[in-house]
Amino acid sequence: MDILHVVGARPNFMKAAPVLRALSGDPDVRQTLVHTGQHYDQAMSEVFFRQLEIPPPDLNLGVGSGTHTEQQTKVSLALDPVLRDRRPDLVLVYGDVNSTVAAALASSKLGIRVGHVEAGLRSRDLTMPEEVNRILTDQVSDLLFTPSEDAGENLLNENIDPAKIHFVGNVMIDTLVRLLPRAEKHLPKDLPSPYVLVTLHRPSNVDDLPWMRALLSTLTELSRMATILFPVHPRTHRSILHVDRTNGSQSRLRLLEPLPYLEFLGLQRHAALVITDSGGIQEETTFLGVPCLTVRENTERPITIQQGTNQLVGRDVNRLAQAATAILENRWNFPRTRTPALWDGHASTRIARIVSMRAETKKEEVA
Ligand code: UD1
């Protein structure tokens, strides 16, 4: 069985790594890894391949940045001849980035089966490009691997055939479980205490300059209570250059380069609080039991709210400041969390088992 994995952007890498690893043990499976090149900076891509021990991609499509349509079209155009030439039995796509939907549509148009890892998540906010990507990818997928029970319900509500849906758990947590001991060794020697870890990169936050200015000023205020460590995504960097930062010399707001996986995971593990707009980080903090405030109006990961580790603060700096202060002053009634079902480090083994069963069936058919 020939499997072609398509990855493109930073959050894809920690999801694909354990699946590639789990399938590498099956002698009936041949794997090809395609990197679309959506993320191309060393700090956004290559360092993740190294730390996550992902083999170098067999092919890099080099699509780079651009508008959504440009990015998607470039992925489809570059992938189409590869798919025609190799005719894989299955294309595996990950998460919800532009590369995911482009690869899923290109494969499906050629009648090639698609497996979507992290299927079924929904924010119900179609203004988020990722929501459009999730819905379209799921509609054309033949194997839908879901990370949580709510994801399966969402798919059933969209009339997706239940036989296609496989509740396997969270592959990103597989990577976290495997690498957490190593991440502890990547902590900086001069770690401040306490500290707040911040990541912001959604266009709705960072491309809106007045709002970005308000957020930075709130973070500067919060830095009176704790050091703020803020690794800055390239998109965010552009905005910060445009806003008049209120980060005076007394401020403990530290803007950092984007961090590699192990360094970032170590910092998450020991943070007093994480402030983010990322989807994956809402899940990682839930697993780690670290309080998280999400600067968004909605989330496709409602399980993190139900667990009580994550709170949406929307577009309201007062809510953000109040919630952060309550956490830093130990006034947040932090729940004793139970890890969500199947977030156990073995989601990729379940995926490999399902895919291998298909390979077995194919062998019997050929025989
Ligand atoms: C993409 C995903 C988002 C994911 C995020 C993680 C989509 C629609 N969005 O957003 O879901 O959470 O990745 O980072 O697919 N840039 C660089 N170097 C790089 C990559 C990007 O400088 O290696 C800059 C470019 O100026 C680019 C901008 O960042 O225009 C945005 O990159 P892009 O891939 O379009 O989207 P992200 O914001 O990273």
Are 299 and 312 in contact by the 8 Å Cβ rule? The answer is yes
Percent of the chain with pLDDT over 90: 91
E strands, the chain, where? 2-7, 30-35, 59-60, 90-94, 113-117, 143-146, 165-167, 195-199, 227-231, 253-256, 273-276, 292-294, 310-312
Q: Is residue 293 located within the same domain as residue 353?
A: no
Catalytic residue among 5, 201, 233, 346: 201
Residue 317 domain flag:
yes
Give residue-wise pLDDT tens across range 131-152.
999 999 999 999 999 999 999 9
Q: Which of 97, 101, 277, when mutated, tests ligand 1's pocket best, judged by the most ligand atoms within 8 Å of its CB?
A: 97
Residue 333 domain flag:
no
| CATH number of the domain that residue 88 is part of | 3.40.50.2000
pLDDT at 246 over 70: no
Give residue-wise pLDDT tens across range 326-364.
999 998 887 777 799 999 999 999 999 999 988 677 767
pLDDT at 276 over 80: yes
Are 72 and 101 in contact by the 8 Å Cβ rule? The answer is yes
Residue 53 domain flag:
yes
Q: What is the pLDDT of residue 244?
A: 61
Q: Is residue 36 located within the same domain as residue 135?
A: yes
For 17, the 3-state DSSP assignment is helix
CA-based R_g, the chain, Å: 20
List the residue whose alpha carbon is closest to atom 20 of ligand 1: 39
pTM: 0.96
Q: Which two structure tokens, joined as six digits, stand for 195? A: 């500290």
pLDDT at 272 over 90: yes
Q: Is residue 301 located within the same domain as residue 349?
A: no
Residue type, 103: A
- What range defines the domain where residue 25 resides? 2-170+343-366
Are 138 and 155 in contact by the 8 Å Cβ rule? The answer is yes
Give residue-wise pLDDT tens across range 76-98.
999 999 999 999 999 999 999 99
Q: Is residue 106 located within the same domain as residue 190?
A: no
Question: How many angstroms is it from 236 CA to the middle of ligand 1?
Answer: 10
Q: Is residue 150 located within the same domain as residue 13?
A: yes
10 Å CB burial of residue 208 (0-12, 13-18, 19+) is: middle
Q: Is residue 190 located within the same domain as residue 166?
A: no
From residue 220, alpha-carbon distances to 123, 199, 226, 365 in Å are 30, 14, 10, 64
For the stretch 277-299, what's the b/e string if a residue is b when 16 or more beta carbons lie within 10 angstroms of its beta carbon?
bbbbbbbbbbbbebbbbbbbebb
Q: Is residue 204 located within the same domain as residue 313?
A: yes
Q: Is residue 159 located within the same domain as residue 221?
A: no
201 tagged catalytic: yes
Question: How many angstroms is it from 80 CA to the middle of ligand 1?
Answer: 23
Q: Is residue 292 located within the same domain as residue 321?
A: yes
Q: Is residue 158 located within the same domain as residue 31?
A: yes
Residue 230 domain flag:
yes
Are 309 and 337 in contact by the 8 Å Cβ rule? The answer is yes
Q: Is residue 311 located within the same domain as residue 351?
A: no
pLDDT at 177 over 90: yes
Site residues for ligand 1, CB cut-off 6 Å: 9-11, 38-41, 44, 65, 96-98, 129-130, 201, 233-235
Q: Is residue 189 located within the same domain as residue 318?
A: yes
pLDDT at 242 over 70: yes
